[in-house]
Amino acid sequence: MTDFVHPTLLLVLGALPIPFLRGLIRKIYLLLIPALAILAVLTMQPGDYGAARFIGQDILIAKVDNLSIVFATVFTIMSLIGMVYALHLTCAGQHVAAFVYVGSALGVVFAGDYLTLFLFWEVMAFASAYLVFAQRSRQAIRAGFRYLMVHITGGLALLGGIIAHGLTVGSLRFGPIESGMDVGVYLILAGFMLNAAVPPLNAWLTDAYPEATVTGAVFMSAFTTKTAVYVLARAFPGTELLVWLGTVMALYGVVYAVLENDCRRLLAYHIVSQVGYMVAGIGIGTEMAVNGAASHAFAHILYKALLFMGAGAVIYVTGRRKLTELGGLYRTMPLTVALYMVGAFAISAFPFFSGFVTKSMVIAAAGQDHRALVVLALTMASSGTFLHTGLKLPYYMFFGTDRKLEAREPPRNMLIAMSMAAVLCIAIGVFPQPLYALLPHPVDFEPYTTVHITESLGLLMFTALGFVLFLKALDPENTISIDTDWFYRKGARRFLWLAENPLARYEKAVSDVSETTVLPFLHGAARTGLRIDHSKVDAVVNGVARAILSTGEALRHLQTGVVTQYALAMIVGVIAATAVFAVMWR
């Protein structure tokens, strides 16, 4: 491995000295490590690295190819942008958690076997959960525990699937699954889909992301779901189920965003929607579709982080995050407004912004595969994205009713990070070829055709007209909508009631009987000793054995079902055990 430096080592080991550094030295260090990780990714060559044997299995620490490089490139770039955004923080814990989080996500991207993948998969869950707990509010702590509960459940499903699949195929190598769909494969798919926030396994995202710290939410928006997109692209390309799940995701997130009042919760639902495009592209499975999914993940990480940074800047300055409490900030935060709108245009697929050259590739791949319904649904979802993220949210957050809030631009490092992401969103939109060159398959797609530009602008302008005409109907309400998290929010409460009432009373009754009857009897027996007549025990045992044999012979001749025979055998066994116990304690 002399010609390969794993970026995970740089970030995870690089997290260790952070608590001991102070001031300017810490800030330089926080930027240096991600910069070195970017350099490590840009200079690595395709190949297998770190092959070994562990518990009788072949382990491959790093598998480098075009698919892993495109995700690793944007992950390391985002780690640098995120660190610039968080540079003002004095809390070392958040920096450490962010380093470990990014490093474990890179560990998943390069994992060549399922054991390595599972290890980093679980580390990623716990590191990201810290970014929720670090907010320290009551709501954040509750959301953090729910987040962990869901991800531990998903991790157990993944582990069970890995074991079952490994026993079936005799190998734990991570790659395209060609053995057919069995129980193990379905469990692996379920574990991956949970992290991708595929409905109904999505509510953890919109529950936890709004409760994370301002800087933590930026990191969380970039890594967990896109890591899941990567593993789906690696293991399940061409899986028909994913086409329809991804299409439903794209619409599902847009519909729920209509109901949202919390600015970051609204953006979180649009993560669900945008990841739906990627999942659908992976399900289609053609070279263009997989290229579209990978390129859209690349673009999405940057523009979604920019949107979360813009919303986070507002929360940092005003302390408010509900649209019903915001408005009129364009006067005091003009730079934040401008940078946010770059992200809004990118996610809405405006020409000359990154989403235009990536999202359209997925839709075009669906069209080439003769999937008219998928094309229609994804196009409708794109219109809804512009309606809420590009129009509704900035209108009510920055314009709308002036709430007379005392506000200012956020710290300079936050503006610099937003500017870095904004420049990349525009650069990818204007010059898509460098991104296309990174993709796993050769690209034969031209986004800037007259028809495509005209259709996109027509759809966007029609959406803007609808926003103006129905503005009053889109007014946010001071409510919160419960998604499928209802089941574990309410279900957990019901389970605790059951544990604290009927089960606790039953346990107390059993304990009382034990203390008043069983334990005194056992203590007395221990003091006086056991009086066992071994000849009688032998006689009883022999008799019981003969009875069981004769009963079995009789059952064999009886015309009874298996269940009946099993019940009779159980009765005989209980009688025999009771007889032996009675003789021993006579």
Q: What is the DSSP string of 404-415?
A: --------HHHH
- Residue finishing a domain among 197, 220, 236: 236
Give the single-character DSSP code of 348: T
User: Is residue 153 predicted with pLDDT exceeding 80?
Assistant: yes
Residues 6+ apart with CB under 8 A from 349: 355, 356, 359, 360, 382, 385, 386, 456, 460
Looking at the structure, do residues 331 and 404 belong to the same domain, yes or no? yes
Q: Residue 525: its pLDDT value, please?
A: 67
Residues 6+ apart with CB under 8 A from 40: 5, 6, 7, 10, 76
- Residue finishing a domain among 220, 236, 252: 236
Q: Which domain holds residue 581?
A: 532-586
Instruction: Give Cα separations from 291 to 89, 251, 295, 348 (angstroms).
Output: 37, 22, 6, 19
User: Is residue 291 predicted with pLDDT exceeding 70?
Assistant: yes
User: Is residue 490 predicted with pLDDT exceeding 90?
Assistant: no
Residues 6+ apart with CB under 8 A from 88: 411, 413, 414
pTM listed for this prediction: 0.83
Give the single-character DSSP code of 210: G
Count H helices and E strands in the chain, helices first.
24, 2
User: Is residue 585 predicted with pLDDT exceeding 80?
Assistant: no
- Which tens digits make up the pLDDT trace of 160-217? 999 999 999 888 999 998 877 889 999 999 999 999 999 999 999 999 999 999 999 9
Q: Residue 470: its pLDDT value, please?
A: 87
- Which tens digits make up the pLDDT trace of 250-281? 999 999 988 889 999 999 999 999 999 999 99
Looking at the structure, do residues 556 and 569 belong to the same domain, yes or no? yes
Q: Residue 584: its pLDDT value, please?
A: 40
Looking at the structure, do residues 21 and 168 belong to the same domain, yes or no? yes
Looking at the structure, do residues 388 and 507 belong to the same domain, yes or no? no
Looking at the structure, do residues 399 and 536 belong to the same domain, yes or no? no
User: Is residue 559 predicted with pLDDT exceeding 70?
Assistant: no
Alpha-carbon distance of 89 to 95, in angstroms, equals 8
- Residue 297 binned pLDDT confidence (cut-offs 50, 70, 90): very high
Looking at the structure, do residues 97 and 62 belong to the same domain, yes or no? yes
- Residue finishing a domain among 236, 259, 288: 236
Q: Which two three-digit tokens encode residue 524? A: 């007395």
Which of 107-116, 184-193, 207-216, 499-508 is the least confident region? 499-508
Q: Are 361 and 297 in contact (CB under 8 A)?
A: no
Angle at 174 between CA 169 and CA 180, to 5 degrees: 45
Angle between helices 412-430 and 66-85 (to 10 degrees): 150
User: Is residue 493 predicted with pLDDT exceeding 80?
Assistant: no
- Which tens digits make up the pLDDT trace of 33-52? 999 999 999 999 999 998 88
Looking at the structure, do residues 223 and 364 belong to the same domain, yes or no? no
Alpha-carbon distance of 576 to 586, in angstroms, equals 16
Q: Cα 71 from chain centroid?
A: 16
Looking at the structure, do residues 192 and 246 belong to the same domain, yes or no? no
Q: Which two three-digit tokens encode residue 479? A: 């409510």
Task: Give start and end residues of each alpha helix (H) in 258-333.
Answer: 263-284, 287-318
User: Is residue 11 predicted with pLDDT exceeding 90?
Assistant: yes
- Residue 499 binned pLDDT confidence (cut-offs 50, 70, 90): low
- Which tens digits make up the pLDDT trace of 239-249? 999 999 999 99
Average pLDDT of the chain to the nearest whole number? 87
Name the range with the highest mean pLDDT among 251-255, 421-425, 449-453: 421-425
Tell me the HSE value of 432 on the side-chain side, using a 13 A CA sphere.
Answer: 26
Residues 6+ apart with CB under 8 A from 520: none
Looking at the structure, do residues 557 and 499 belong to the same domain, yes or no? no
58 has which bridge partners? 53
**Residue 126 is which amino acid?**
F
Residue count of the chain, please give it.
586
Please state, as a whole number, how many other Cβ atoms lie within 10 Å of the Cβ of residue 264: 23
Three-class SS string for 387-402? HHHHHHHHHHHHCCCC
- Which tens digits make up the pLDDT trace of 55-71? 778 889 999 999 999 99
Task: Give start and end residues of each alpha helix (H) in 449-533.
Answer: 450-469, 486-500, 502-513, 519-528
Looking at the structure, do residues 436 and 543 belong to the same domain, yes or no? no
User: Is residue 519 predicted with pLDDT exceeding 90?
Assistant: no
322 has which bridge partners? 262
User: Is residue 565 predicted with pLDDT exceeding 90?
Assistant: no
Q: Residue 513: its pLDDT value, please?
A: 72
Nearest to 82 by CA among 420, 320, 336: 420
Please state, as a whole number, how many other Cβ atoms lie within 10 Å of the Cβ of residue 90: 9
Alpha-carbon distance of 447 to 472, in angstroms, equals 35
Looking at the chain, the whole-number percentage of residues with pLDDT higher than 90 is 70
Which of 327-331, 344-348, 428-432, 511-515 is the least confident region? 511-515
Looking at the structure, do residues 248 and 227 belong to the same domain, yes or no? no
Q: Are 282 and 242 in contact (CB under 8 A)?
A: yes
Q: Residue 129: its pLDDT value, please?
A: 96
| Torsion-angle region of 441 (φ positive above 0: left; ψ -120 to 50: alpha; else: beta) | beta
Q: Residue 579: its pLDDT value, please?
A: 45
Domain count along the chain: 4
User: Is residue 540 predicted with pLDDT exceeding 60?
Assistant: no
Looking at the structure, do residues 270 and 206 belong to the same domain, yes or no? no
Burial class (CB in 10 A: 0-12, 13-18, 19+), 429: buried
For the chain, the farthest-separated pair of C-alpha atoms sits apart, in whole angstroms, at 101
**Residue 394 is which amino acid?**
P
Q: Which two three-digit tokens encode residue 470? A: 């129905």
Q: Are 179 and 168 in contact (CB under 8 A)?
A: yes
- Residue 580 binned pLDDT confidence (cut-offs 50, 70, 90): very low
Q: Are 429 and 353 in contact (CB under 8 A)?
A: yes
Q: Are 121 and 84 in contact (CB under 8 A)?
A: no
Cis peptide before 200 (omega within 30 of 0): yes
Q: Which two three-digit tokens encode residue 532? A: 């066992």
User: Is residue 568 predicted with pLDDT exceeding 50?
Assistant: no
Dihedral sign from CA coordinates of 559, 560, 562, 566: negative
Q: Are 303 and 425 in contact (CB under 8 A)?
A: yes
Q: Residue 404: its pLDDT value, please?
A: 86
| Torsion-angle region of 64 (φ positive above 0: left; ψ -120 to 50: alpha; else: beta) | beta
- Residue 512 binned pLDDT confidence (cut-offs 50, 70, 90): confident
Burial class (CB in 10 A: 0-12, 13-18, 19+), 211: buried
Residue carrying the six token digits 């003002």: 88
Q: Residue 492: its pLDDT value, please?
A: 67
